[in-house]
Amino acid sequence: MDMPSLLNWMIYVPMIFGGLCLLAPSGEWAKRLALAGSIVTLVMSIVLLCNYSFDQGGVQFESSLVWIEAINVHYRTGLDGLSLPLVLLTTALSVLVVAAGWKIDKAAKAYNALYMLLLTGMLGVFLALDMFLFYVFFEISLLPMYFLIGIWGGPRKEYAAIKFFLYTLAGSICLLIVMLGLFLYTPNIDGANGKQLWTIVSSSELSLQSAAVRAVFGNGGLHEVFGKWAFWLTLIAFLIKLPAVPFHTWLPDAHVEAPTPISMVLAGVLLKMGGYAMMRITWPLFPDAAATFWVAVATIGVVSIIYGALCAIAQTDWKKMVAYSSVSHMGYVTLGLAVLTRTGFDGAYFQMIAHGITSAMMFFLVGVVYDRAHHRDLNRFGGLWLTWPGYSGWAMVGFFAGMGLPGLCGFIGEIMVLLGTFEAAANFEHQVGLVYTFGILAASGVVLTAGYILWMFQRVYMGLPKPEYESFEPVRGREYAIMAVLGIAAFVFGIVPVLIFNITDSTFESLTNMLRDGLGVLSVSGS
């Protein structure tokens, strides 16, 4: 099978397995089928990785079909450095998520089928190269999530599910508006029949397209105002998904109510769609606006870091604390993108991968305890270290990775974003004070992170074991396997970060070259 069709198969194989789950004779079979489906997907993504050529910056394994000719919509998929690590994260995490959901017996067939559909949606988002197609997958991933939270969730599941759904949908509407605007305003580009911007600007075409795009939507362009509005609309769409303060409140509710595996995938992959889409759509299409509004965007990032961490400190619900830590961690992504430096971009991207690993692990660690204790009140725990030494060892790995300890993956992203922020002082020479302020605030975020993680660690793991938790059934092999995979991944990526950067390097090179053009506009208009 050639690579482009393998890639397309990879998107739909989960869906097919999802259909099979529904036909399965029993829930047990549905679980096995879902596991098989995710393993097949994982294998396919590894095959793609093996065939991927790292030096080539552009899109690989591309396939393109005319879909709706009248409005120039294509079915266009492909892989580049921006999507490959996230695809691998998705497929790898999926196997763990299915395994983590092994004990969900309520309507197991429907559950696994919906999860497989979700997997298709997530892979589609990362692999679509046509904006229309992207939108379709963006929505597809929404729907199964709604049911997965709304049916298999906790006590307030309906509220959480509808909140998640409506909030994200509001973002989608913003995106839709931008798509319509792009369709109407984009002139002919590279001599084709116009309306090219349905096609997501891929890195290979960046140099070709960005000049033409900027000529229209950039500062001084014909549709400059639309360009600025569109920047904000897409940004809001993706900041909601990320999520960033003040668009984050769906997250704690969704996480608290969602079952453990769904929390894992929600934090591990779905949030990454926001960051990915910013890198794929917002920044490449509107580099001028990104340079013009960098202060506002960076402020959102820094506020998310500090505010998320502060909220996390105050939580007594363990899962909510982890959820707010996600807000805080994803703030680094926003900040890294906002400052428009290569280091910041690299850091933001790595932070997404790292957070995919650590947040999934943290949610799983919480889930293991919740399954037995049936509550998540931090103040009622204690002494788990003595009750379960092995589990607590992995918990230490997971939470300290979230804390950004060197040697674990959380460190690399944070440190690179910080460096990128300080580096940005060279970009914004008139605003060096602001750059320093952002840098200093983001750096002080590490103190708050230490605060909530360590306080939690003290309350849950330290102390004498409480009698009511001594009768807990021991942690099972399946659970150990999941923790071990995530924990080892946290180590591996923390020690050998080039594993990611080798893949992304050439793609990011062209991406940031293009951003530099945007900055050129700033220095002209700024001075």
Partner 1 sequence: MAPQQAELILTLLGMATLLPLASAFIMIILTRRVMFKAAGWFATAVMAGSFVCALVSLVTWLGVPEADRRGLSLLKSIPWIPIPSTEAGHLYLGILVDNLTIAMMAMVTLISLLVHLYSIGYMNGDKRYNRFFAYLSLFTFSMLGIVISNSIMQMFVFWELVGLTSYLLIGFWFEKRGPQLACKKAFVMNRIGDAGFLIGFGILFYQLGGKLLLPAAGGASGMVEGQVVTMFDAIKTLIEQDGHSITNPPLWLTAAGIGLFFGAIGKSAQFPLHTWLPDAMEGPTPVSSIVHSATMVAAGVYLTGRIYPILTPAAHVFVAVIGLITLVIAACMALVMTDIKRVLAYSTLSQLGYMILGLGAGAYAFALFHLVTHAFFKCCLFQCSGSVINAAHHEQDMRQYGGLGKKLPVTMACYLVCTLAIAGASIPWTEFGISGFYSKDGIIAGTVSYGHALHDTFGAAANLFWLAPTVVAYITVFYMARSFALTFLGKPRNQKLFDHAHEAPWTMCVPQIVLAAMAILTAPFLMGFWQSLIVASEPQVAWIQGADHLAHGHAMHTTHVYLLNGLAWIIMLAAGIILYIPGMKFSSKIAAIPGINLLYTWAYNKFYFDALYDTFVVGLGKLISMIAAVFDKYIVDGIVNLVGLLGKAAAFLIGAFDIHLIDGSVNAAAAAAHSSGGLLRATHAGRVRGYVLIFFASAVLVVLAVVTTVMVFGA
d(CA 377, CA 383): 14
- What tokens appear for 438 in the block? 């952002």
Choose one: 14-22, 110-118, 358-366, 494-502; the region binding partner 1 (CB under 8 A). Answer: 494-502
Q: Which is nearer to partner 1, 3 or 462 (CB)?
A: 462
Residues 6+ apart with CB under 8 A from 213: 186, 189, 197, 201, 285
Over the window 78 to 107, marking each residue x when it contacts partner 1 by CB under 8 A and - when it does not, the resulting string is ------------------------------
Burial 199-219 (b: 16+ CB within 10 A, else e): bbbbbbbbeebbebbbebbbb
d(CA 63, CA 75): 8
Burial of 444 (0-12, 13-18, 19+ CB in 10 A): middle
CB of 407 to partner 1, least distance (A): 6
144, 439, 487, 518: residue in contact with partner 1 (rule CB under 8 A): 439
286, 461, 469, 493: residue in contact with partner 1 (rule CB under 8 A): 461
Choose one: 227-235, 277-285, 328-336, 405-413; the region binding partner 1 (CB under 8 A). Answer: 405-413
CB of 146 to partner 1, least distance (A): 15
Of residues 220 through 279, those in contact with partner 1 by CB under 8 A are: 245-246, 248-250
CB of 509 to partner 1, least distance (A): 7
415, 485, 490, 511: residue in contact with partner 1 (rule CB under 8 A): 415
CB of 489 to partner 1, least distance (A): 17
d(CA 155, CA 39): 32
Residues 353 and 89 sit within 8 Å (Cβ to Cβ): yes
Which residues of 303-407 form beta strands (DSSP E)?
none
Of residues 285 through 324, those in contact with partner 1 by CB under 8 A are: 307, 310-315
Choose one: 8-16, 73-81, 261-269, 461-469; the region binding partner 1 (CB under 8 A). Answer: 461-469
How many CB atoms are closer than 10 A to CB 65?
10
SS3 assignment for 24-59:
CCCHHHHHHHHHHHHHHHHHHHHHHHHHCCCCCCCC
Is 520 a binding residue for partner 1 by CB under 8 A? The answer is no
d(CA 396, CA 148): 29
263, 343, 359, 507: residue in contact with partner 1 (rule CB under 8 A): 343
CB of 30 to partner 1, least distance (A): 34
Residues 6+ apart with CB under 8 A from 421: 298, 335, 336, 339, 341, 344, 435, 438, 439, 442
From the centroid of its chain, how far is CA 99?
A: 21
Over the window 140 to 179, marking each residue x when it contacts partner 1 by CB under 8 A and - when it does not, the resulting string is -----------------------x--xx------------
Q: Which is nearer to partner 1, 209 or 343 (CB)?
A: 343
Choose one: 22-30, 113-121, 181-189, 400-408; the region binding partner 1 (CB under 8 A). Answer: 400-408
CB of 79 to partner 1, least distance (A): 21
Residues 321 and 315 sit within 8 Å (Cβ to Cβ): yes
CB of 358 to partner 1, least distance (A): 15
Identify the CA nearest to 323 among candidates 412, 390, 245: 245
Is 421 a binding residue for partner 1 by CB under 8 A? The answer is yes
Over the window 359 to 398, marking each residue x when it contacts partner 1 by CB under 8 A and - when it does not, the resulting string is ------------------------x-xx------x-----
Positive/negative CA dihedral, 178, 180, 181, 186: positive
Choose one: 133-141, 190-198, 230-238, 447-455; the region binding partner 1 (CB under 8 A). Answer: 447-455
Q: Which is nearer to partner 1, 216 or 353 (CB)?
A: 353
Burial of 193 (0-12, 13-18, 19+ CB in 10 A): exposed
Residues 6+ apart with CB under 8 A from 40: 13, 17
Q: Which is nearer to partner 1, 216 or 251 (CB)?
A: 251
CB of 336 to partner 1, least distance (A): 13
Q: How far is CA 433 from CA 115, 295, 429, in A?
A: 47, 12, 9
Q: Which is nearer to partner 1, 257 or 423 (CB)?
A: 423
Q: Which is nearer to partner 1, 220 or 406 (CB)?
A: 406
d(CA 289, CA 226): 10
4, 58, 154, 451: residue in contact with partner 1 (rule CB under 8 A): 451
Identify the CA nearest to 267 among candidates 396, 89, 126: 89
Is 490 a binding residue for partner 1 by CB under 8 A? The answer is no
Q: Which is nearer to partner 1, 108 or 300 (CB)?
A: 300
- What tokens appear for 21 in the block? 């789950």
Summarize as ranges the residues that interact with partner 1 (CB under 8 A). Answer: 163, 166-167, 245-246, 248-250, 307, 310-315, 341-343, 346, 383, 385-386, 393, 400, 405-407, 411-412, 415-416, 418-419, 421-423, 425-426, 435-436, 439-440, 443-444, 446-447, 450-451, 454-455, 457-458, 461-464, 497-498, 501, 505, 509, 512
